[in-house]
Every structure is written in structure tokens, then in C-alpha cells.
Chains A and B, each alone.
Chain A
Amino acid sequence: KQEVTQIPAALSVPEGENLVLNCSFTDSAIYNLQWFRQDPGKGLTSLLLIQSSQREQTSGRLNASLDKSSGRSTLYIAASQPGDSATYLCAVRPGNRDDKIIFGKGTRLHILP
């Protein structure tokens, strides 16, 4: 059974710092991995999607890496801003024909002004 773990559960950093959020998954047979952002009372916004054949994806100040063999992904946020404060969720699409996504519990990020 695929399980997704995110560390840390919560993180507070001063504005301007670079930071890394970690995600691990137990079954390396995945089709893709996705990072989402969730703001209080809002739905999920997809940030980056990495196909199983890819090693990383970049969008602006965000960079996500994938090491499928070791079951790990990281989300790197450069030059953090207060507007980056949110919960970040890592999710994998399992390596079978299911279309569901399996989520981690998320990392609550707070950027201190």
C-alpha cells in the first residue's frame, strides 16, 4: 500500500530565506508526483507535476525534484515571501491503473515578515 510522508509537519522561516520541503513515498512504482498548495478555506492549487521519467520541474521560484528509486521528492522555494505561507501537499499517482491521487499530510509553512 502506497504511503506518502511529509517532513516537517510545520515550518517557520524568516522572509527571504531559501527552504526545502521533503516528501517520501513507500512504493517507487509511481506514474507521477505532484506538489499542491492549499490556503485556508480554499481548494488545492497544483504547483508542479513531475512525471516518473523526469528528475525535476521548475516554475518561477519553485523547483521540485524526484528520485523515484529512493522514493523521495523535495520542493525548493527560493527567496521566500510572506505570500508563500500556506500548506504544501505532496501527492503521488500510484503505479497502477487507478486514477486517484494519494496525498501526504502536508507541511504548514509560515514565512515571517
Chain B
Amino acid sequence: GAGVSQTPSNKVTEKGKYVELRCDPISGHTALYWYRQSLGQGPEFLIYFQGTGAADDSGLPNDRFFAVRPEGSVSTLKIQRTERGDSAVYLCASSLGQGITDTQYFGPGTRLTVL
């Protein structure tokens, strides 16, 4: 079956611009996660949705970052006034949302480059 998909696969933008990154989770998965992976680092948690609501947004680095999931399926991560330090691979994952034993399935990521 279809896995988690993310678009675009690559995004190059200029400092100060606004970007949107999209995640399509596995059908039927109620939980959705965003992580950020900088070069040479492991993924770092950004935000977690259960359904339409953000259950935990403690990983968002500042108020330039926010994410939505209006219908409880597709999610969009939005970054305002991008900075060079935002360059990273942004990973999305989804799970059934049945609790702590859930397995998270990851998408291929969006590589964001801020010039």
C-alpha cells in the first residue's frame, strides 16, 4: 500500500521567503509527526498531531514555524521569514494513533535549502 508521501522532495528558497511543506500520511493514521534533521544529526521532534489538533508542539523552534492539519489527514508545515539555519531535511511520520506502542512510518522527507 501507499506509504507516507511528502512534497516537494526538494525546495530551494531565499532568506526571508515563506515556504510550505506538505505531508500525506498513510490512510487511516490519526497521528502525524514532523521532525527536522540537520546535516550529521538525528531527526529532532517538531510537532505531533492527533487528529486535527496539535497534541504537542514543544519542538517548534520559534514562532516562525507552525503546522496545520485541518481535516485530520494532510498536514502542512509552514515556515515564515526563512533563515539559512532552517536548511535541513524535514521528515513527516504517521501512525495509527493507538498509543505509545505505535510504530511511526516515515516519509522520504523534504530537503529545504535556504540561500
Residue positions of A touching B, CB distance < 8 A: 4, 31-32, 36, 41-46, 49, 51, 89, 91, 93, 97-106
Contact = CB atoms under 8 A, between A and B. Distances in A.
Q: Which secondary structure dominates where chain A touches chain B?
A: strand
Interface stretch (B14-22, B40-48, B65-73): B40-48
Nearest to A102: B45
Contact of A100 (B4, B56, B109): B56
B104 interface: yes
A44 B40 contact: no
B42 A104 contact: yes
A101 B95 CA distance: 12
Question: Among B4, B93, B100, B109, which residue has the most Cβ atoms of chain A within 10 A?
Answer: B100
Contacts, number: 60
A43 B101 contact: no
Given A43-B4, A99-B31, A32 B100 contact: yes
A98 B55 CA distance: 9
Given A36-B106, A43-B4, A99-B95, 12 more contacts: A31-B101, A43-B109, A44-B91, A44-B93, A99-B31, A100-B33, A101-B104, A102-B45, A103-B42, A103-B43, A105-B40, A105-B42
Contacts of A101: 33, 43, 45, 104
Contact of B107 (A41, A43, A100): A43
22 contacts: A4-B42, A41-B108, A42-B108, A43-B4, A43-B108, A43-B109, A44-B91, A44-B93, A51-B101, A89-B42, A98-B56, A99-B55, A99-B56, A99-B95, A100-B45, A100-B48, A100-B56, A101-B104, A103-B42, A103-B43, A103-B44, A105-B41
B91 to A, nearest CB: 7
Contacts of B56: 98-100
Nearest to A94: B100
B42 A91 contact: yes
Contacts of B55: 99
